[in-house]
Amino acid sequence: GPAVSSAALPARAAGTGPVLLNFNESPYGPSPAAQAAARAIVADSGRYLFALAGELRDAFAQQEGVAAQRVRLFPGSSEPLNRAAVVWTSPSAGLVVADPTFESLGDLAAARGATVVKVPLRADGAHDVRAMVDAARQVNAGLLYLCNPNNPTGSITPADDIAWMLANKPPQTRLLVDEAYLQFSAQRSVIAQVMQRDDVIVLRTFSKLYGMAGLRLGVAAAHPDRLRELASLGDNPLPVTALAAGLASLREPGLVEQRREQNTRVRQATVEWLQKRGFRCLPTEANCFMVDVQRDGAAFTRAMAERGVVIGRSWPIWPQVVRVSVGTEAEMAAFRDAFAAVVGLKG
Ligand code: PLP
């Protein structure tokens, strides 16, 4: 996304800037323990601290029940997404994605000449795995992309559908499951599949629930051959502040549950408020939701920004539906006030 001007930062810290509900960031930031760990390690940041990266990889692998050899850390999950586009798609190996979904992988694959097929989500918000597998056959896909929960909808694709996709996709087509928002949902991860198969890649990030978007830490889990392919574009040591904060986050008891419950509570209250007033929201289990604003989404987003609430955008497939990230209770109160003013609700 666009760079935040440095002038905006003090205003944000002081709580006087606009309410930012546009990038699915955490309004809470890293947990206090993670912040303390990041601050403490700055003194040692003259070193690469490769052993700390190993410690984090091992802790993640143990928590998830996969072998450490099948886990690789990256500065965020954007990095392995970009690499996946480069190593597994080409003019002769297409990509199949949902519509709407997170666009960075598809945009990069398309820019590099791959055929990208966008398959509309099912009415219940799940990926249409049958249509996606058909499309994979048609374009000799190198890669299927499945984001669960999906961005921008927050909608879920049930485990049975993913299992069906794995059983029925062309054998040469890899499946990349992006679980950036999984911790907000009640869904189970598919990460155990990386111990069984060599054609599944699972991505996680510390940017969302752990609130570390600006610190940069992500994980790819896959068969060692797939991790080697991702690594073939070169190495890049990780920021030690991210490693320290990441390890502290993994080790903090109850953090995931506490933040998941907080997010669910605030999101549900906001969605109920909108639906009571006749504005349809799509089913979501993430830290964002989509609402049909019954008018041009781009104009609506501009009108909200003029009232100090910066929300996400609409996707071309649904021009009157906008994405809103879930902020704090106070931020969502500001969202409701601005929403009521923009659509002309009384009282
Ligand atoms: N995947 C999804 C689905 C996302 O929504 C995002 C960010 O919004 C990313 C990946 C990339 O995030 P990061 O590089 O911060 O891990």
- ipTM of the predicted structure? 0.99
DSSP 9-51: HHHHHTT-S-EEESS---SS-S-HHHHHHHHHHGGGTTS--HH
pLDDT greater than 60 at residue 10? no
Mutate to test the pocket of ligand 1, among 21, 78, 79, 81 (most ligand atoms within 8 A of CB): 78
Measured from the CA of 150, which atom of ligand 1 is nearest?
Answer: 3
Closest to 218 in 3D by CA, of 127, 82, 102: 82
Residue 311 CA to ligand 1 center (angstroms) comes to 17
> Which one, of 120, 121, 115, 231, lies nearest residue 173 by Cα?
115
pLDDT of residue 264: 98
Residue 2 has pLDDT above 80, yes or no: no
Tell me: pLDDT of 12 over 60: no
Architecture of domain 32-250: 3-Layer(aba) Sandwich (3.40)
Model confidence over 257-305: pLDDT tens digits? 999 999 999 999 999 999 999 999 999 999 999 999 999 999 999 999 9
Q: How far is the CA of 346 from the centre of ligand 1 (A)?
A: 37
Residue 77 CA to ligand 1 center (angstroms) comes to 6
Q: 80-117: per-residue pLDDT in tens?
A: 999 999 999 999 999 999 999 999 999 999 999 999 99
Instruction: From 82, 88, 332, select the one nearest 200 (Cα to Cα).
Output: 88
Which DSSP string do the residues of 215-242 spell out, in sequence order? T--EEEE--HHHHHHHHTT---PPPHHH
Distance 78 CA to ligand 1 centre (A): 6
High-pLDDT (> 70) share of the chain, %: 95
Tell me the CA–centroid distance for residue 113 and ligand 1, in Å: 23
- The two structure tokens encoding residue 119: 């398959």
State the average pLDDT for the chain. Answer: 95
Q: Average pLDDT for residues 48-60, to the nearest whole number?
A: 98
The predicted structure's pLDDT at residue 134: 98
In the structure encoding, which two tokens stand for residue 113, read together? 């000449």
Tokens, residue 234: 């070169």
Ligand 1 atom closest to residue 77's alpha carbon, by position in its atom list? 16
pLDDT band at 15 (very low <50, low <70, confident <90, very high): low
Q: Which two tokens stand for residue 60?
A: 């993640």
Torsion sign (Cα): 223, 228, 230, 235: positive
Ligand 1 centre distance from Cα of residue 43 (Å):
29
Element housing 266 (H / E)? helix 255-276
- Domain boundaries defined on the chain: 8-24+255-343, 32-250
Mean pLDDT of the 188-194 span: 97
Asked if 222 and 70 touch (Cβ cutoff 8 Å), the reply is yes
Q: Other CB atoms closer than 10 Å to residue 125's CB: what's the count?
A: 19
User: Which atom of ligand 1 sits closest to the CA of residue 218?
Assistant: 16
Between 7 and 243, name the one with better pLDDT.
243
Q: Between β-strands 71-74 and 218-221, what pairing exists: parallel, antiparallel or unpaired?
A: antiparallel
Which CATH number is correct for 8-24+255-343, 3.90.1150.10, 3.40.50.720, 3.40.50.2300, 3.90.980.10? 3.90.1150.10
pLDDT of residue 346: 76
- Residue pair 281/275 in contact (Cβ under 8 Å)? The answer is yes
pTM reported for the whole predicted model:
0.95
Instruction: Classify burial at 322, counting beta carbons within 10 Å of its beta carbon; exposed 0-12, middle 13-18, buried 19 or more.
Output: buried
Start-to-end Cα distance in the chain: 35
Q: In the structure, which protein residues have their CB atom closer than 6 angstroms to any atom of ligand 1?
A: 24, 76-78, 81, 102, 147, 151, 178, 180, 205, 207, 213, 218
Handedness of CA 85, 91, 93, 96 (dihedral sign): positive
Q: What is the pLDDT of residue 5?
A: 52
Amino acid present at 81? L
Q: How confident is the model at residue 1 (pLDDT cuts 50, 70, 90)?
A: very low
The count of other CB atoms within 10 Å of the CB of residue 65 is 10
C-alpha distances in angstroms, 320 versus 191, 282, 295, 313, 315? 35, 13, 5, 10, 9
For ligand 1, pick from 77, 216, 238 the residue to mutate: most ligand atoms within 8 Å of CB.
77
Asked whether the beta carbons of 97 and 117 are under 8 A apart, the reply is: yes
If one residue of 207, 210, 325, 326 were mutated to test the ligand 1 pocket, choosing by the most ligand atoms within 8 A of its CB, it would be 207
Give yes or no for residue 339 having a pLDDT over 60. yes
In the reported structure, the alpha carbon of residue 214 is separated from the centroid of ligand 1 by a whole-number distance in angstroms of: 12
Q: What is the pLDDT of residue 13?
A: 54
